[in-house]
Amino acid sequence: MSTLAVHTRKGAVLHEKELSNAFTQAEVNGPVIHQCVVAYLANQRQGTASTKTRSEVKGSGKKLYRQKGTGRARVGHAKSPIRVHGGVAFGPKPRSYRQHTPKQLRRLGLHSALADRFQNQQCILVEDFTLERPRTKDMVNLLKALNAEGKVLVVLGEPSPNIYLSVRNIPKVNCCTWDMLNIYQVMWHDRLVITEQAAEKLEAKFVAPGSENSEA
């Protein structure tokens, strides 16, 4: 079992929490993480870029001048790609960039990314908390007390609109619930601030019942 400190909103250590090694010390599969991140970014693309070919550009198809005898280079009609306002050769057309990633592969990628963050001491556990009203200053003070600098992702066990609204105005700080966590979010942020409830739910998601009892 791995032992991590659970902090209060003031930054003090509240108590120690044990998490299964199968969750925090799992093998980090780099190629799977890379494949999942590439697929995630590809799936964000709209694929709406479009250009007109020579057959779609408005204009006449008449040959501009005769082939020989003018002393100039031979030329076709004005819609040729080599002319100004002509069509585009081999330009982009609307298409789908979507990559299908199997569910088990996405699961393995997210587990590996979380394990990497735990093994590099980039996860901070905090007690479950709520805010009575949206207040950005409260979240700023919380992050300062936890020494969470840079890009920070706050992972909650339950949806909290007040926390979400309080985090929204802080640059490079985002918030999500444990079940909406994806591998790109984990890899993009420098630190993960995870509530105790969220950590328990993530552990239950990735560790089969009874597997921790078989650890050497």
How do residues 114-124 score in pLDDT, each as one tens digit?
Answer: 999 999 999 99
- Classify residue 145 as exposed, middle or buried by CB count within 10 Å of its CB (0-12, 13-18, 19+): middle
Q: Cα dist. 15→41, 143, 206 in Å?
A: 39, 19, 24
Domain boundaries, the chain: 2-45+99-214, 51-91
pTM of the model: 0.84
pLDDT in tens, 92-135: 999 999 999 999 999 999 999 999 999 999 999 999 999 999 99
- As a CATH number, domain 2-45+99-214 is 3.40.1370.10
CA angle 163, 14, 111 (to 5 degrees): 65
Closest CA to 76 of 54, 91, 58: 54
pLDDT at residue 208, as a whole number: 72
Whole-Å CA distances, 100 to 27, 46, 107, 188: 24, 16, 14, 21
Q: Tell me the C-alpha distance between 90 and 134, whole Å.
A: 51
Where are the extended beta strands (E) located within the chain? Answer: 2-7, 13-19, 123-126, 152-156, 173-177, 191-195
Tell me what pLDDT residue 2 has: 83
DSSP secondary structure of 30-56:
HHHHHHHHHHHHHHT---------TTT
pLDDT at 214: 45
Positions of the chain with pLDDT under 70: 209-216
Q: Is 116 helix (H, G, I), strand (E, B) or coil?
A: helix
Token pair, residue 212, equals 């921790």
59: left (phi over 0), alpha (psi -120 to 50) or beta: left
